[in-house]
Amino acid sequence: MTVKPGWARKRDRLRRREASAATANAAGSPWALSAAEWRLLVITLVGGVGSIVAAAFIIGGALTIAQSVRNEGLEVWVITLLVWIGVASGIK
Asked whether the beta carbons of 36 and 14 are under 8 A apart, the reply is yes
Would the pTM count as exceeding 0.75? no
Q: Given this model, what pLDDT does residue 47 score?
A: 95
Q: What is the pLDDT of residues 35-90, one digit of tens each?
A: 888 899 999 999 999 999 999 999 998 898 888 888 888 888 788 888 888 888 88
For the chain, the structural domain boundaries read 8-25+32-89
pLDDT value at position 7?
65
Q: What one-letter code names the amino acid at 3?
A: V
Q: How confident is the model at residue 11 (pLDDT cuts 50, 70, 90)?
A: low
Asked if 39 contacts 46 with a C-beta cutoff of 8 angstroms, the reply is: no
